[in-house]
Structure 1
Amino acid sequence: MSTHALVAASAVFLLAGCGATEERTPQAEAPITQQSELLAACQDTEELEEVAEHSCVHAEYGPFESVTAAPLGGPSFVDVSVGHTAYNVTLPAITYKNWTLGYAGSVIFTPEESNEFALLTSGHRAVRIVNAATNEEVGLECRYEVPQEVCGTLRTAVTADLEGGIDYRVDFAAVVPQAATFLLVIEETAHEGHEE
């Protein structure tokens, strides 16, 4: 196994943990991962429910943009900063010989203003946010499981406080049998005077 493949595979398992469940069935639960075990459930679910409902409109009706994330561990120039957009993100495969072990990659998000943001995804993915300039990891606030009755397209969200004008590298990872492709919508959680 090459050093690069070993490092990438290790990163997938560190980000995503060892457990995985099939997410194609509506009753499938979130995979038990190191990340989700450490991240507390969000308490302000009323506000997040509103964010999820708004994001669901974009996840179902667009506008859409397809992007392929940069390989994990390298520089990323794949930008997902356009507001009110559903990104169809494809993660590069982490392979060993003929086996695909998982998927991992990075995108760049640059918020226009400082606020708390929710990163909503159509499938359960391990997420890490890093300041691209300083390489300092940003602490995630909490995890929100989107109820089926709120949105049938988006499954989960993580929240984080981000500063406006800063480039953030967002790392995603998934362990097989999860899919390489998922929808991503990033929205502010506090919308004063917000219009769709």
Structure 2
Amino acid sequence: MSPHALLVAGAAFLLAGCGATEETAPETAAPVTQQSELIAACVDTEELAEAAEHSCTHAEYGPFESVTAAPLGGPSFVDVSVEHTAYNVTLPAITYQRWTLGYAGSVIFTPEESTEYAFLTSGYRAVRVVNAATNEEVGLECHYSVPQEVCGSLRSAVTADLEGGIDYRVDFAAVVPQAASFLLVIEETGHAHSEE
């Protein structure tokens, strides 16, 4: 299998149930894993709304950092672990001959403490979280569509329980016509934000 075919297959795997609509879902069957099934909508949204509201401040006022994600399938050294930072992430293109089919890439996130985290983005992106050392997928808890009245800059969030001090590879994918770049803010949702 060519490297291009592997990238396309990897992106199709990410998109198999992580926000892809019926019009954009690939016709071929992707391997069934926890991440390729549809992620349930979050039921308890009070903490997520607070996290989104706090993250919105960073999405609108910074501090900002621009990063280019590593190509999907290879090692990633692009770190997005600095707290209270809005990352402008650019994903590498997935191309076939002269056509751009979509964008996919990986970043590394190392949480300071063990708790639930929300990965908030300015657009809808397929997301997969993997323990970088063991290559084991971390189950995403739920998906939260950020209401416009909570934050106009962030549209979507997925949550996952992560262990402090562990490096996690976070894979993102998007299909054309979605843009290659998006805003990412990672926020703890496991406790109140009153100290911030």
TM-score, normalised to structure 1, is 0.89
For 2:91, give the aligned amino acid: L
**SS at the partner of 1:95?**
strand
Identity of aligned residues (%): 76
| Secondary structure class of the residue paired with 2:161 | strand
Asked if structure 2 preserves the Cα contact closer than 8 Å seen for 1:13 and 1:175, the reply is: no
Shift of 1:14: 1.5
| Cα deviation 1:69-109 (Å, max 9, x = unaligned) | 00000000000000010000000000011100000000000
> Once the 2 structures are TM-superposed, how far is the Cα of residue 138 of structure 1 from its aligned partner?
0.2
Confirm or deny: 8 A CA contact 1:80 1:87 kept in the other structure. Answer: yes
Q: Aligned AA for 1:176?
A: V
SS in 2 for 1:38: coil
- Cα offset for 1:54? 0.3
Change (3 A) 1:159 1:193: closer
Q: Give the CA deviation at 1:195.
A: 2.8
Which amino acid is the alignment partner of residue 104 of structure 2?
A
Counterpart Cα distance in 2 of 1:155 and 1:129? 19
1:32 aligns with 2:31: no
Match of 2:14 in 1: 15
* SS in structure 1 at match of 2:59: helix
Cross-structure match for 2:165: 165
Number of equivalenced pairs: 185
Equivalent position SS for 2:13: helix
Q: What displacement does 1:194 show?
A: 4.4
Q: C-alpha separation between the residues in 1 aligned to 2:108 and 2:156?
A: 20
- Cα RMSD, aligned residues only: 1.9
State the 1:16 CA deviation: 1.6
> Are the structure 2 counterparts of residues 149 and 36 from structure 1 closer, same or farther at C-alpha, using a change threshold of 3 Å?
farther
**Matches of 2:119 and 2:69, distance apart in 1:** 15
**Is 1:151 aligned to 2:140, yes or no?**
no
- The two structures have a TM-score, normalised by structure 2, of 0.89
Q: Deviations over 1:150-191 (max 9, x none)?
A: 100100000000000000000000010100000000000023
Offset from partner CA, 1:29-58 (integer Å, 9 cap, x none): x64277686100001111111110000000
Relative distance call for 1:101 and 1:193 in structure 2 (3 A) is: closer
Describe the SS at the equivalent of 2:75.
coil
d(CA) in 2 for partners of 1:64, 1:129: 22
